């Protein structure tokens, strides 16, 4: 500890040699600092408080009908990005800060100054924002804050409207694209159905295996009915032959056969034609004449009508070919006449059922031939239907989203989801808020004293002086043979006292100067308050 104190004393004695240099530097620094503090212009601050109300009553009412953005997040992001170069340039033009600036460099300096002096602060979580600006002119500061409030409100509304407009434009473009895709899918589906009209019409919504099973069942039923009719016809012939063997009178039965052939009919085909015509009426109520289902139904009706004509012609031909039975003129019995009538009826029924069996056999052969290509056709049809369903669903979803975007834009324009309320209008503080001259002056005094002391220390280190033999021995690391002591006379002591008084007066004058300056500043501030 004693060694440390001894070293400190050595340093102080060295610094004392250069005390006048330090005092001069302290005076220069103090005078310059005081002048700067007094010359600095006053800075006035203007501010405004804005409250953003995001709790609109329309939010729960329009839930599900309109797209509701996160207004709180948008306002927070806007407050953080409001001080950007485009907004600052707009603010400079609105506040008429660029009227005196003619050159590009001056405009850049103005933008930089405005950016540094602007401030936006969020108070708590209540969506309350304070907009502030500092300037040497209070009216200019107030004008800038007014312009900043306008930009803050307009930017939030403009961003919502621009977002809704951009979303609507994008959705409209996508709707046009999907309209084209939907039309192409409908065209491909129509062409495919027209190309495979026979298979699609015969299937009637069933797969190939079910269709073949159905035709097979119909063919078996027709064959069973045909065998039953043949057996009935053979039985009628046997009874008629037995009646002839008993020698019954014979007469002409041509008139009976013609009467029977005149009443020939196809009840099954008539029922199918009636059913198809009813289905066609229902389709015409929903679709146009060019719809594939309507075209297929009409073609099937036409084919069945031609088949009915052919069967009727064959039945009449078979009835006409029935052998003529002659009875004794005036001697025919009622039993013989009844047998002839029954035989004619069974012949007609056999011909009709044979035609039906042939038709179902032809259909069965066609279905078996189409069975090889049916799976591929059904797979292609399923793919086309799937593509059409996907495009249709996307198109309907886009149309619904477009309506939501339109309602959202109209809702924002009509009522405004966020309500901006100016709690405190822009107002400039009549008292300057900067600079704090008392604090700056105290700092200047401390800086002057510190720089003076540092100057004496630096000078003592650059040109050291040794006042002690031990210090000299430690520095040069050489043995010292002796020390010559200087005799101090009375004149030297008097000169030292005068020098000390002068130094004390110089240092005291520096402190007095700062004291006077602080007093003047205090008086000025008290007058401003009054």
Instruction: Please state the three-class secondary structure of 93-158 as a single string.
Output: HHCCCCCCCCCHHHHHHHHHHHHHHEEEEEECCCCEEEEEEEECCHHHHHHHHHHHHHHHHHHHHH
Burial environment of residue 22 by CB neighbours within 10 A (0 to 12, 13 to 18, 19 or more): buried
Helices (H), 196-291: 197-203, 208-245, 254-262, 267-286
Rounded CA-CA distance 290/193 in Å is 12
pLDDT for residue 24? 93
Tens-digit pLDDT profile for residues 274-311: 778 878 877 777 778 887 778 878 888 888 888 878 87
What is the pLDDT confidence band of residue 258, given thresholds at 50, 70 and 90? Answer: very low
Q: Around Cβ 383, how many Cβ atoms within 10 Å?
A: 12
Tens-digit pLDDT profile for residues 46-93: 888 888 766 654 555 445 554 455 545 555 666 566 777 888 888 888
What order do you get walking across the sheet with 118-123 strand by strand? Answer: 118-123, 128-135, 44-53, 419-428
pLDDT for residue 81? 66
Strands 419-428 and 118-123: unpaired
The 8-class DSSP code of residue 63 comes to B
Buried b / exposed e over 215-242, threshold 16 CB at 10 Å, is beebbeebbebbeebeebbeebbebbee
Q: Around Cβ 413, how many Cβ atoms within 10 Å?
A: 12
Rounded CA-CA distance 410/352 in Å is 73
Q: Around Cβ 16, how many Cβ atoms within 10 Å?
A: 14
Phi-psi region of 40 (alpha: psi -120 to 50; beta: other; left: phi over 0): beta
Rounded CA-CA distance 304/274 in Å is 11
Q: Around Cβ 207, how many Cβ atoms within 10 Å?
A: 12
CB 397 within 8 A of CB 178: no
Rounded CA-CA distance 173/402 in Å is 11
Residue of 519 and 106 predicted with greater confidence:
519
pLDDT for residue 329? 40
For residue 5, pLDDT beyond 70: yes
Q: Around Cβ 120, how many Cβ atoms within 10 Å?
A: 17
The mean-pLDDT minimum among 181-195, 218-232, 264-278, 444-458 falls in 264-278
Rounded CA-CA distance 277/294 in Å is 11
Residue of 186 and 252 predicted with greater confidence:
186
For residue 415, pLDDT beyond 50: no
CB 249 within 8 A of CB 332: yes
CB 244 within 8 A of CB 326: no
Rounded CA-CA distance 11/6 in Å is 9
pLDDT for residue 450? 93
CB 38 within 8 A of CB 437: yes
Residue written as token pair 């969506």: 127
What is the pLDDT confidence band of residue 453, given thresholds at 50, 70 and 90? Answer: very high
The pair of structure tokens assigned to 397 is 């979803």
The radius of gyration of the chain from alpha carbons, rounded to an integer in Å, stands at: 58
The 8-class DSSP code of residue 66 comes to B
Q: What is the pTM of this model?
A: 0.43
What is the H or E stretch that residue 69 is in? none
Backbone φ and ψ of 13, nearest 5°: -65, -35
pLDDT for residue 28? 94
Rounded CA-CA distance 113/88 in Å is 10
The pair of structure tokens assigned to 342 is 């029954």
Residue written as token pair 């919502």: 160
Rounded CA-CA distance 67/53 in Å is 18
The pair of structure tokens assigned to 316 is 């009449």
Tens-digit pLDDT profile for residues 200-243: 444 444 466 777 778 888 888 888 888 888 888 888 788 878 87
């Amino acid at each position: 500890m004693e060694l440390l104190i001894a070293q400190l004393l050595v340093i102080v004695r060295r610094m004392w040699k250069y005390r006048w240099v330090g005092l001069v530097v302290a005076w220069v620094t103090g005078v310059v600092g005081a002048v700067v503090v007094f010359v600095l212009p006053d800075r006035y601050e203007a501010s405004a408080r804005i409250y953003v109300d995001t709790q609109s009553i329309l939010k729960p009412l329009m839930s599900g009908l309109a797209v509701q953005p996160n207004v709180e997040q948008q306002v927070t992001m806007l407050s953080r990005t409001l001080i950007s170069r485009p907004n600052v340039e707009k603010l400079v033009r609105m506040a008429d800060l660029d009227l005196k600036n003619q050159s590009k460099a001056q405009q850049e300096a103005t933008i930089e100054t405005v950016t540094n002096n602007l401030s936006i602060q969020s108070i708590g979580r209540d969506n309350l924002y304070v907009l502030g600006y500092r300037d040497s002119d209070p009216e200019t500061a107030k004008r800038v804050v007014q312009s900043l409030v306008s930009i803050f409100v307009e930017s939030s509304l403009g961003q919502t409207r621009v977002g809704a407009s951009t979303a609507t434009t994008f959705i409209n473009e996508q709707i046009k694209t999907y309209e084209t895709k939907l039309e192409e899918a409908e065209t491909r589906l129509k062409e495919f159905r027209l190309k495979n009209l026979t298979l699609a019409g015969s299937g009637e919504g069933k797969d190939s295996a079910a269709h073949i099973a159905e035709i097979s069942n119909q063919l078996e039923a027709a064959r069973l009915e045909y065998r039953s009719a043949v057996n009935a016809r053979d039985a009628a012939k046997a009874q008629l032959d037995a009646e002839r063997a008993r020698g019954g009178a014979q007469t002409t039965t041509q008139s009976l056969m013609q009467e029977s052939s005149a009443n020939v009919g196809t009840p099954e085909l008539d029922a199918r034609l009636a059913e198809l015509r009813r289905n066609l009426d229902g389709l015409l109520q929903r679709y146009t004449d060019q719809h594939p289902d309507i075209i297929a139904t009409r073609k099937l009706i036409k084919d069945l009508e031609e088949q009915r004509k052919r069967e009727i012609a064959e039945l009449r031909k078979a009835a006409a070919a029935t052998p003529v039975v002659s009875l004794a003129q005036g001697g025919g019995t009622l039993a013989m006449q009844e047998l002839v009538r029954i035989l004619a009826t069974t012949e007609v029924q056999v011909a009709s059922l044979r035609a039906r069996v042939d038709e179902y056999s032809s259909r069965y052969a066609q279905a078996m031939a189409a069975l090889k290509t049916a799976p591929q056709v059904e797979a292609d049809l399923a793919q086309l239907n799937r593509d059409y369903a996907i495009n249709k669903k996307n198109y309907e979803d886009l149309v619904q989203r477009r309506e939501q975007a339109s309602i959202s834009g109209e809702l924002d324009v009509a009522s405004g989801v966020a309500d901006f309320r100016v709690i405190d209008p822009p107002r400039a503080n009549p008292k300057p808020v900067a600079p704090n001259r008392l604090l700056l002056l105290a700092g200047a005094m401390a800086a002057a004293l510190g720089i003076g002391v540092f100057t004496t220390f630096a000078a003592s280190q650059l040109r050291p002086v040794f006042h002690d033999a031990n210090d000299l021995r430690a520095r040069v690391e050489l043995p010292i043979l002796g020390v010559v002591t200087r005799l101090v006379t009375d004149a030297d002591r008097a000169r030292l006292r005068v020098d000390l008084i002068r130094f004390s007066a110089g240092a005291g004058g520096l402190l007095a100067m700062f004291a006077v300056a602080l007093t003047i500043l205090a008086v000025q501030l008290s007058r401003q308050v009054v």
